[in-house]
Structure 1
Amino acid sequence: MWKIHLSSKGMVTIAELREKWKNLGLPEEQLGAILQLDNFGEEMEWMKFLALGCSVLGGSLLSSMKQACEILTRDPEGGAARIPFETFSFLYSYLASIDGEISKTETKAFLLGIEKQACQGSGVVLP
């Protein structure tokens, strides 16, 4: 339900995030840790917040991406968890840039391989 209220907005204020976080009874320290991962002003892109939240839970870039796909998919639960390639590419590129250990060349090569998979109709399969 939280996703529905904020995701349609594109941009959310940090104050909105704090309010929703508090209403859910989640530890304020967790939100602070997520917000420290990037330099945000008074507002941020909802998808970036989602990506950072998945990265805190996921531990690795690929597990973070799997979680994001499961959250964003319109496929039935337990299904393929497909999302549009543009969304996948945005999230992956953003998390890779935050990670700092993955070069832009590596990111582009990975996304090219994923795009080829998707275009061949075999679906995207994360390693």
Structure 2
Amino acid sequence: MPLEPPDMYCAEQIFVPPTFPGILKQYTKAAIRTQPYDLLRWSAAYFRALANGERPLVKERLEYPQITTESGLSPGFLKVLIKQIGKEVSVKYCKLTEIWEGLCLDGEKLKEMLQLSGCQDENQVDWLVFIAVAAGHLNENLQQTMNMLCELLTEEPEGGCASIPMHVFRNLYQLLAEMDCPNIPGIGPRVPEDTKSAALTYLEEMASTHSGFILPRHTIHILCPPLY
């Protein structure tokens, strides 16, 4: 009995949905910029977000050279988290976990950061505190961490002076300075009271001349007392 001939198609018989090339192009660009650790898991989160009319988990630009940390977190991924959640006072634990997993970051490191942030339950997370702790995992000392927080939390356009309100800077600095984390260089051991007081006195004075805002350049000025 002769076998049935295989189906043959010509170009005219193949229908390509008109939106397919654009979707594929944007996806390819997003994957190259984001460089996810698990392409399949990230792709599932990417298309799920698009299907739900939400912002996909995409970095603004390619980080090069690619930054490697135990958690998988990088400044680019931290910016994605902030873009997704905003700069709210708190965030639901389940939402943060969902985005973290969508970025294919390490779940155990998330638990450690949440514990260090003082998260007492799985309902709400103090978002700014978590950002500060996460930034501490990406820097070599407390001063670098505070400058990164200015860049992450500023309302200035990219390339601007990265100013933030002094009260926000003060609260986050005092929080991190009180922690005793010698194994996390970006936070470090507890800062002595006299060191902390001298730094804040100088920075408060600088902020008073800038409408109550602090700038990263203030912390690296030759006259600024050390932050740690």
**In structure 1, the residue corresponding to 2:149 is in which secondary structure?**
helix
> If the length of structure 2 is used for normalisation, what is the TM-score?
0.50
- Which is richer in helix? 1
Question: Per the alignment, do residues 123 and 10 of structure 1 end up closer, same or farther by CA in structure 2, a change over 3 Å counting?
Answer: closer
| CA–CA distance in structure 2, aligned partners of residues 68 and 20 of structure 1 | 20
Shift of 1:77: 1.6
Q: Which has the larger radius of gyration?
A: 2
Question: Per the alignment, do residues 86 and 113 of structure 1 end up closer, same or farther by CA in structure 2, a change over 3 Å counting?
Answer: same
Shift of 1:119: 1.3
Q: State the identity as a percent.
A: 30
Alpha carbons 1:55, 1:64 under 8 Å: kept: yes
- Structure 2 portions without partners, runs of 5+: 1-79, 181-188, 221-228
> Runs (4+) of structure 1 moved beyond 4 Å?
none
Answer yes or no: is 1:30 the counterpart of 2:109: yes
Residue 147 of structure 2 aligns with which residue? Answer: 66
| CA–CA distance in structure 2, aligned partners of residues 65 and 39 of structure 1 | 19
**Pairing 1:77-92 to 2, within 5 Å after superposition:** 77-92=158-173
Question: Per the alignment, do residues 9 and 78 of structure 1 end up closer, same or farther by CA in structure 2, a change over 3 Å counting?
Answer: closer
Aligned length: 127
Residue 53 of structure 1 aligns with which residue? Answer: 134
Paired AA for residue 120 in structure 1 = T
**In structure 1, the residue corresponding to 2:91 is in which secondary structure?**
strand
Residue 219 of structure 2 aligns with which residue? Answer: 126
Alpha carbons 1:7, 1:46 under 8 Å: kept: no
**In structure 1, the residue corresponding to 2:164 is in which secondary structure?**
coil
Residue 95 of structure 2 aligns with which residue? Answer: 16
Question: Per the alignment, do residues 97 and 7 of structure 1 end up closer, same or farther by CA in structure 2, a change over 3 Å counting?
Answer: farther
Answer yes or no: is 1:3 the counterpart of 2:82: yes
Question: Per the alignment, do residues 9 and 74 of structure 1 end up closer, same or farther by CA in structure 2, a change over 3 Å counting?
Answer: closer
Answer yes or no: is 1:40 the counterpart of 2:134: no
- Structure 1 portions without partners, runs of 5+: none
Shift of 1:8: 4.8
In the alignment, which of 80, 105, 111 is matched to residue 200 of structure 2? 111
**In structure 2, the residue corresponding to 1:110 is in which secondary structure?**
helix
Shift of 1:58: 1.4
Moved more, 18-27 or 66-75: 18-27
Moved more, 91-100 or 7-16: 7-16
Alpha carbons 1:69, 1:82 under 8 Å: kept: yes
